[in-house]
Structure 1
Amino acid sequence: MTEPLENSIHAGHDLLVVLDFGSQYAHLIVRRLRDIGFYSELHPYDVGPERLMELKPKGLILSGGPASVYESDSPHLDARIFSLGIPILGICYGMQEIAYQLGGKVECGDKREYGHATLQVVEDPADGGALFHGLKTSCSVWMSHGDRVISLPEGFYPIARTENCNYAAVYGQPNAHASVLAPIYGLQFHPEVSHSEHGTEVLANFCRAVCGCRGDWYMEAFLEEAIRTIREQTGEHALVVGALSGGVDSTVAALLVSRAIGDRFRGIFVDNGLLRKNEATDVMAMLRDQMHVQVDCINASTHFLDALAGVTDPEEKRKTIGNQFIKVFEEQARKISADFLLQGTLYPDVIESISHKGPSATIKTHHNVGGLPQRMRLKLIEPLRYLFKDEVRKLGLVLGLPAEVVYRHPFPGPGLAIRVLGEITSERLNKLREADAIFLHELRRAGLYEQIGQAFAVLLSSKAVGVMGDFRTYEEVIALRAVATSDYMTADWYPLPFEVLRRISLRIVNEVSGVNRIVYDVTSKPPGTIEWE
Structure 2
Amino acid sequence: MNDSIAILDFGSQTSQLIARRVREAQVYCELFPWDAPAEKVLALHPKGFILSGSPASVYESGAPFIPAYVLDSGLPILGICFGMQALTYALGGKVAAATRREYGLAQVESTGDNPLLPPGEHRVWMSHGDRIEQAPPGFISLAHTGNSPVAMMGNLETKRFGVQFHPEVHHTPGGRELLRRFVVEVCGAKPDWTLDSIIRAATDQIRASVGDERVLVAVSGGVDSSVATALVNRAIGDQLTAVFVDHGLLRQGEREQVEAAFRRSLGQRLVVVNAIEDYMDALQGVTDPEQKRRIIGEKFIRIFETEAKKAGSPRFLVQGTIYPDVVESSAPDRSKAQRIKTHHNVGGLPKDMQFTLVEPLRYLFKDEVRAVGEALGLPAELVWRQPFPGPGLAVRCLGDITLERLDTLRAADHIFTSELTAAGLLNRATDEPDGISQAFAVLLPVRSVGVMGDTRTYQETVALRAVTTEDFMTADWARLPYDLLARTANRIVNEVAGVNRVVYDITSKPPATIEWE
TM normalised by structure 1 equals 0.85
SS of the equivalent of 2:8 reads: strand
Question: For the residues of structure 1 that align with 2:138 and 2:16, how far apart are their CA atoms?
Answer: 31
Aligned length in residues: 505
Instruction: Call closer, same or farther: CA 1:501–1:357 in 2, change over 3 Å.
Output: same
Deviation at 1:434, TM superposition (A): 1.7
Are 1:453 and 2:420 an aligned pair? Answer: no
Deviation at 1:64, TM superposition (A): 3.1
Deviation at 1:24, TM superposition (A): 4.5
Instruction: Call closer, same or farther: CA 1:234–1:22 in 2, change over 3 Å.
Output: closer
Question: For the residues of structure 1 that align with 2:81 and 2:398, how far apart are their CA atoms?
Answer: 43
Are 1:26 and 2:15 an aligned pair? Answer: yes
**Would the aligned equivalents of 1:28 and 1:192 in 2 still touch at CA under 8 Å?**
yes
**Would the aligned equivalents of 1:48 and 1:78 in 2 still touch at CA under 8 Å?**
no
SS of the equivalent of 2:7 reads: strand
Instruction: Call closer, same or farther: CA 1:150–1:406 in 2, change over 3 Å.
Output: same
Q: Which has the larger radius of gyration?
A: 1
Amino acid aligned to 1:139 = E
**Would the aligned equivalents of 1:416 and 1:429 in 2 still touch at CA under 8 Å?**
yes
**Would the aligned equivalents of 1:119 and 1:141 in 2 still touch at CA under 8 Å?**
no
5 Å-filtered alignment, 1:142-161, equals: 142=124, 143-159=126-142
Deviation at 1:470, TM superposition (A): 4.6
Question: For the residues of structure 2 that align with 1:102 and 1:167, how far apart are their CA atoms?
Answer: 15
Match of 1:75 in 2: 64
Question: For the residues of structure 1 that align with 2:156 and 2:12, how far apart are their CA atoms?
Answer: 27
Match of 1:480 in 2: 464
SS of the equivalent of 1:213 reads: coil
For residues 94-148 of structure 1, what are the alpha-carbon distances to aligned partners after superposition, in whole Å with 9 as ceiling and x for unaligned? 23322322233334455445643342424xx5xxx6435xxx4323253554544
Instruction: Call closer, same or farther: CA 1:245–1:153 in 2, change over 3 Å.
Output: same
5 Å-filtered alignment, 1:120-199, equals: 120-122=110-112, 125=113, 130-132=115-117, 136-142=118-124, 143-159=126-142, 167-172=150-155, 183-196=159-172, 198-199=174-175
Residue 366 of structure 1, aligned match among 339, 344, 347 = 344
Instruction: Call closer, same or farther: CA 1:120–1:284 in 2, change over 3 Å.
Output: same
Instruction: Call closer, same or farther: CA 1:532–1:487 in 2, change over 3 Å.
Output: same
**Would the aligned equivalents of 1:192 and 1:200 in 2 still touch at CA under 8 Å?**
yes
Deviation at 1:162, TM superposition (A): 5.8
Instruction: Call closer, same or farther: CA 1:479–1:214 in 2, change over 3 Å.
Output: same
Residue 181 of structure 2, aligned match among 196, 205, 211 = 205
Instruction: Call closer, same or farther: CA 1:233–1:272 in 2, change over 3 Å.
Output: same
Instruction: Call closer, same or farther: CA 1:280–1:368 in 2, change over 3 Å.
Output: farther
**Would the aligned equivalents of 2:108 and 2:151 in 1 still touch at CA under 8 Å?**
no
Amino acid aligned to 1:498 = Y
Amino acid aligned to 2:121 = C
Question: For the residues of structure 1 that align with 2:106 and 2:448, how far apart are their CA atoms?
Answer: 47
**Would the aligned equivalents of 2:297 and 2:348 in 1 still touch at CA under 8 Å?**
no
5 Å-filtered alignment, 1:230-269, equals: 230-235=206-211, 237-269=212-244
Instruction: Call closer, same or farther: CA 1:300–1:212 in 2, change over 3 Å.
Output: same
**Would the aligned equivalents of 1:104 and 1:152 in 2 still touch at CA under 8 Å?**
yes
Instruction: Call closer, same or farther: CA 1:102–1:314 in 2, change over 3 Å.
Output: closer
Deviation at 1:336, TM superposition (A): 0.9
Deviation at 1:481, TM superposition (A): 2.2
For residues 267-296 of structure 1, what are the alpha-carbon distances to aligned partners after superposition, in whole Å with 9 as ceiling and x for unaligned? 110111221111111011112215769311
**Would the aligned equivalents of 2:320 and 2:360 in 1 still touch at CA under 8 Å?**
yes
Structure 2: gaps (5+ residues)? 429-434
For residues 136-176 of structure 1, what are the alpha-carbon distances to aligned partners after superposition, in whole Å with 9 as ceiling and x for unaligned? 432325355454444444444455556665544443365xx
**Would the aligned equivalents of 1:247 and 1:410 in 2 still touch at CA under 8 Å?**
yes
For residues 439-490 of structure 1, what are the alpha-carbon distances to aligned partners after superposition, in whole Å with 9 as ceiling and x for unaligned? 1111101122242232222233344444434544444433322233333344
Are 1:40 and 2:29 an aligned pair? Answer: yes
Question: For the residues of structure 1 that align with 2:63 and 2:470, how far apart are their CA atoms?
Answer: 31
TM normalised by structure 2 equals 0.87
Deviation at 1:326, TM superposition (A): 3.1
Question: For the residues of structure 1 that align with 2:372 and 2:477, how far apart are their CA atoms?
Answer: 28
Match of 1:389 in 2: 366
Residue 429 of structure 1, aligned match among 397, 403, 406 = 406
5 Å-filtered alignment, 1:208-219, equals: 208-219=184-195
For residues 171-225 of structure 1, what are the alpha-carbon distances to aligned partners after superposition, in whole Å with 9 as ceiling and x for unaligned? 3365xxxxxxx53223344433445453322221211122111112222221122
5 Å-filtered alignment, 1:501-512, equals: 501-512=485-496
Deviation at 1:372, TM superposition (A): 5.3
Deviation at 1:233, TM superposition (A): 2.2
Deviation at 1:402, TM superposition (A): 2.2
SS of the equivalent of 1:103 reads: coil
Amino acid aligned to 1:273 = G
CA RMSD between the two structures: 3.0
Instruction: Call closer, same or farther: CA 1:150–1:462 in 2, change over 3 Å.
Output: closer
Identity level (%): 50
SS of the equivalent of 1:131 reads: coil
Instruction: Call closer, same or farther: CA 1:248–1:94 in 2, change over 3 Å.
Output: same
Question: For the residues of structure 1 that align with 2:134 and 2:224, how far apart are their CA atoms?
Answer: 48
